[in-house]
A and B are shown apart, each in its own frame.
Chain A
Amino acid sequence: MKKTTYRGIEKKQARWGVAFVVPSVLFFCLFSFYPIINAMFTSLFDKRILSLAAPKFLGLGNYIYIFKSASFWNSMRATLVFTLGTFIPLLVFSLMFATFIYNICGRRSRGFFQIAYYTPAVLSSVVAAAIWLLILAPPGLGNQVLNWLCRTPGVDRKWLANGTMLQFSTMLVYFWKYIGYFVILFITGLATIPPTIYEAATIDGSSKWQSFWRITVPLLKPTILLVSVMAMLQCLKTFSTQYLFTQSGGAAQDPINVITLNIYETGIRNQRIGRASAMSIVLFVIMLVLTFAQFKISKSDDVDY
C-alpha cells in the first residue's frame, strides 16, 4: 500500500473509513470467523457431541474417513446433481423468460409477470414444503395434473418414492421458488443495455437470434455472473427442502442426502461433531474454489459498452 502518499486529509478520511467498517468486522469475527475456526479445530478431533471427556486428536483422520466413506460420496453426488440440475435450468429459463417479457410485453404486463413469477419466493420454505408435499403425495395434484395432460389416468408418478423422480421433485420446488427472482434480476440487467446498440445491429442486418447472442449475452455478462454465482452457492447450500421432504414427507433419504443434510445428520443425530465439521470444511473449501473460479473466468474479459 502507498503509505507515503497519505496526507493529512486522506489519513483522517482513512480513519473514518476504518470506523465505518469496524462494527461489521467485529460482528463477522464473532458470528462467522470464530465459529468456522472453531469448526476447523473440531474437525481434527473425534468429538462426540454429548461427551464431556477430552476428545481424541485424530489429525486428518476425519478427512481420511469421509473421503473413504460411501455416504459422503453419495452426498457429493446428490449435491452435484442437485446443483447442476437446478442452477443450469434456472439460469437458462430465467434468461429466456426475461428476454421474452422484456421484448414482448408492454409496461404493465411486464410488471404483472414479474410480480406473478416472484410470488412463490414470498412463501417461507416451511410453507412451501408443506404445500409441495401435498401436491406431490400420490393422490395429490402432481399426479392429477400430469395424468390429465398426458391422458393417462391412474398412473402414480412416484414423485417422492422413485429415486430419480425424488431428485427431480426437489429441483422442481427450488426452481419454482427462485425463477421469479432471477427473471427480475435479468430484466433489470436487460434494461441497462442501451437500445441504440440493437438499432445499430438491426441496420447491420443481423437477426434477432444473432443479436441475442452477439449483443445481449455479452452485455449481460455481469448479471449472468452474479446470477450464476448466487444460484450456485444457494444450490450447494440447499438444506430445507431436502430436510423437510425426508422429515415430514416420507421421502427416501439416500437419493437427496445432500451434503448439508449429511452434515446435520452426522453432527446432530449421530453426534459425531468432529466428522461433521470435517465435512463442513470440505464444503466451505469447495464453495470458495468454485466462486473464485467463476470470478476469475469472467474477469479475464470484462465488458465495455
Chain B
Amino acid sequence: MTDKTIASNRSSGLLFALKRVPWARILIWFLLIVMLVFCVMPLVFMVTASMMPASDIIKMPYRWIPRDFHVENYVKAIKGNDGSFTFPRNILNSLIVALTVAFTTVLLASLTGYGLAKFRFRGRNFVFMMIMATMMIPFEAIMIPLYMVATGLHIQNTYLGLILPFLVSAFGVFQMRQYLLTFPGEFLDAARVDGMGEIGIFTKIVLPNCTPVIATLGILSFRGQWDNLLWPLLIVQDEKMKTIPLYISKFAEEKATDEGAMMAVAVLASIPMFILFFALSKYFIGGAAVYESRKG
C-alpha cells in the first residue's frame, strides 16, 4: 500500500507540491513504530505484570505502572509452591542441555556440511536428500518410537537422554552445506599442497571462516532446546533433571500459582536467552542468512 503511494506520487507528477512533504516517509515511520509497539508490548506486559499482585493484572483497565514491586511473585517463582527450590537446578539443567546441543550441533553440522559440500563420493547427493527429508518429520509422529530408542539405551532421567536425540539438526547441516558450497576450493587445495592434514584444514581453515554462520546456528540450536517441552516431558520425571519449560508448565498448572508469579517465572526463564541474544546480536543480525550474503 505504502509503496503504491510512492509510485502514484512519482508517476503522476501532478501532486508535485505534495512530494515536498515526505508523506511516504512519515507513513513508513508510522508503520514501523506500530509494528514495534505490537512486538514489544507483550514483553512490557510480562515485565510489568510480574511486579504486580494478581488482582491488578486481571483488573480492567490494566495499569501499566506497578504500584510497587510485588516481590512475593519472584520469591514464589524461585521457591516453587512447595518451597523445594528446584528452579535454580532446572535453569542449570536447561543451560547444560542447551549449551551442549548448541556445541554438538555446530560441530557435527559443520563437519557434515563440509563433507557434503567439498568432497565428492558415491551416494553424496542421496545422503544429502535423506538428511533434508528428516526436516519434514513432525516430532509428534516419531515421539513414541523415539522414546523406545531412548529407553532402550536406558537414558531416562539423564542429561544424555535430554541431549542425544538433538545432537545435530538437519537444518544445521543444510545451512552449513549451503554456506560452504561457495567456499573457494583453491584455499583448501593450497593447504593440501602445503601438506596440511584434512582435520587440520577443517579446524584451521574451514571453521574460522564460518564464525557468523556458526554463531547463528549455535543460537538457533540453543533456543530450540531452551524451548523444548514435549521431549523432556516424556524422558524426565525426576525433579532434579527437569528443564525450565517443564518447570514453567508444572508451575502454571499448580493451583496455588497466580498470574503474577507466573509472569515472574516467565521473566526469570527468559533472562538467559536475552543475555545471550544481546551479547551475540551482532553476529545474529548480520548473519541470520549469512550463506546468502556470500553469493552476492
Contact = CB atoms under 8 A, between A and B. Distances in A.
A121 B274 CA distance: 10
Interface residues of A, number: 104
Contacts of B284: 118, 184
Contact of B274 (A122, A130, A137, A188): A122
Interface in B242-287: 244-245, 248-249, 252-253, 259, 262-263, 266, 269-270, 273-274, 277-278, 281, 284-287
Interface in A76-114: 96-97, 99-101, 104-105, 111, 113-114
A24 B111 contact: yes
B146 interface: yes
Contacts of A36: 134, 137, 141-142, 145
Contacts, number: 292
Contacts of A100: 2, 28, 31-32
A103 to B, nearest CB: 8
A291 interface: yes
Interface string B123-156: 0100100110111111111111110110000000
A291 B136 contact: yes
A31 B165 contact: yes
A139 B60 contact: yes
Given A117-B39, A122-B223, A188-B290, A35 B145 contact: yes
B173 interface: yes
Contacts of A287: 136, 138
Contact of A134 (B29, B244, B259): B259
Interface in B232-249: 244-245, 248-249
B111 A20 contact: yes
A192 interface: yes
A248 B252 contact: yes
Contacts of A276: 140-141
A67 interface: no
A267 B39 contact: no
A192 B296 contact: yes
Interface in A250-277: 260, 263-264, 267, 273, 276-277
A122 B270 contact: yes
A134 B42 CA distance: 10
A29 to B, nearest CB: 9
A188 B4 CA distance: 24
Interface string B73-111: 000000000000000000000000000000000001101
Interface string B17-56: 0000000010011011001101111110110010000000
The 3 A-B residue pairs with the shortest CB-CB distance in the complex, in nearest-first order? A17-B119, A280-B141, A20-B115
Interface of A: 1, 3, 10, 13-21, 23-25, 27-28, 30-36, 38-39, 42, 49, 96-97, 99-101, 104-105, 111, 113-128, 130-132, 134-135, 137, 139-141, 144-145, 176, 179-181, 184-185, 188-189, 191-194, 207-210, 212, 222-223, 226, 233, 236-237, 239-240, 248, 260, 263-264, 267, 273, 276-277, 280-281, 283-284, 287-288, 291, 305
Interface of B: 2-4, 6-7, 10-11, 25, 28-29, 31-32, 35-36, 38-43, 45-46, 49, 57-62, 108-109, 111-112, 114-116, 118-122, 124, 127, 130-131, 133-146, 148-149, 164-165, 167-168, 170, 173, 198, 202, 223, 226-227, 229-230, 244-245, 248-249, 252-253, 259, 262-263, 266, 269-270, 273-274, 277-278, 281, 284-290, 292-293, 295-296
